[in-house]
Amino acid sequence: MVPRQRFSDHAGLGRQWADFVGRLCARILFLRLFPGSRQGGLVFSVRLRLDGRMETILVTGAAGFIGSHTVDRLLADGFTVVGVDNFRTGRKENLEKAGKSDRFRLEEADCTDAERMKALVASARPLAVIHLAALVSVQESMENPDLNFRLNLHAVHVMAEAARLAGVKRFVFASSAAIYGEHTNMPIRESVRKRPISPYGAAKYAAEGLLLGFGRSFDMTVVCQRYFNVFGPRQDPSSPYSGVISIFDRLFREGKPVTIFGTGRQTRDFVSVHDVARANLLAATGKVRASCSHNICTGKPASLHDLVKQFGRHYPGYPAPRFEAARPGDIEQSIGSPETAKQTINFWAEIDLAGGLRELVQGKPLDIGSPLDPRPGFLER
């Protein structure tokens, strides 16, 4: 067993300080050599370790919706990224921007392939693994619980074990609000009883337990991010399992009526994929005191009626929604408390629903900020 290293030891502090000064010098040198390198709100800089190697983050599910935005965010902040994806639901087009960077490499591989994952993580020697690859649909997990087990639990073990063997110190996991199940007291805090009502939610909850056990046993800090309803560009509207916003977006575009299952008063906590990508960056590279699980959400409720109204502002004269019976298993309310993530990874959502929808409808990418934006916890580990 690898002995746990304490944050407070002097050698650790000295190393962190030297690391910080080293990176600052590298950044100043780079900006002096390439003074015109600020373009499109992003600064082209690279993150170097003291041993001269690039600072690498390994992202699984890199070609997916959240994965590709996370890759873009990490590259914009100067990291080198190794992406892993088997294209089960991911798409090559999502990585068009990333593919232009020489700091990005994609490995077409399956996360359940233990030997391949061990070799890949060992050769990448990443600062952190961000594990996003999964079977992402509640409905599909009901139809195929065995596949759900392999992709949402077994694969997590494979990745954690590969990370442990390679001495990776930080493991970020894409958990989900689905672990909570049905609750009536909103907002949902992390401490409430977990009552997942699908194999998907159950596997995510079990995976958190497995990973937090790794965190307690080995020299690895685990950050479990319980995303609520993520929305934004690149969410696949053609998938029957896709999020409601991407489906509404397509129907409004085509001038077709949206279908509301149930009363339309059911509420959700919609969080922009750009905020989620930033939360992943903070969880993987920011200061984190101990392994933790927290909600990644806005804390602000929006009903399906609110959504229709907001879309309607962009599409005057849109057809009235159709109503159908509520679908079994649909939860009435799901609003998260965003407080814990402020304490653990210094994250709070910055993009509101109206701004995020405007981006979707107008197809104009939001300015996600420059890596030089001062963010506490940044550049320090």
Residues in contact with ligand NAD by CB under 6 A are 60-61, 63-67, 84-90, 110-112, 132-134, 136, 151, 155, 174, 176, 227, 229-230, 243
Residue type, 332: E
Among 224, 230, 339, 348, smallest CA distance to 288 is for: 224
> What burial letters (b/e) apply to 91-108, b meaning 16+ CB within 10 Å?
eeebbebbeebebbbbbe
Closer residue to ligand NAD, CB minimum distance, 44 or 248: 248
Which tokens go with 222? Answer: 């685990």
* Minimum CB–partner distance for residue 70 and ligand NAD (Å): 9
* Minimum CB–partner distance for residue 34 and ligand NAD (Å): 33
- What phi, psi does 173 have (nearest 5°)? -120, 135
* Minimum CB–partner distance for residue 235 and ligand NAD (Å): 7
The per-residue DSSP string of 132-159 comes to: --S---HHHHHH-HHHHHIIIIIHHHHH
Classify the C-alpha dihedral 213-216-219-222 as positive or negative.
positive
Rounded distance, CA 156 to CA 149, Å?
10
Closer residue to ligand NAD, CB minimum distance, 132 or 341: 132
Query: Among residues 200, 205, 241, 315, which one is catalytic?
Result: 200
Rounded distance, CA 280 to CA 275, Å?
9
* Minimum CB–partner distance for residue 134 and ligand NAD (Å): 3
Q: What is the DSSP letter of 100?
A: G
Closer residue to ligand NAD, CB minimum distance, 48 or 158: 158
Contact at 8 Å (CB) between 65 and 236?
A: yes
* Minimum CB–partner distance for residue 16 and ligand NAD (Å): 30
Rounded distance, CA 240 to CA 50, Å?
47
C-alpha dist (Å) from residue 292 to 260, 269, 295, 344: 36, 21, 10, 7
In 3-state terms the chain splits into helix, strand, coil percentages (rounded to 5) of 40, 15, 45
Closer residue to ligand NAD, CB minimum distance, 64 or 78: 64
Closer residue to ligand NAD, CB minimum distance, 43 or 207: 207
Catalytic annotation on 180?
Answer: no
Contact at 8 Å (CB) between 161 and 167?
A: no
* Minimum CB–partner distance for residue 88 and ligand NAD (Å): 4
* Minimum CB–partner distance for residue 85 and ligand NAD (Å): 4
Rounded distance, CA 297 to CA 270, Å?
7
Give every CB contact of residue 227 below 8 A, 6+ residues apart in sequence.
Answer: 66, 174, 175, 176, 177, 271, 276, 296, 297
Catalytic residue ranges? 200
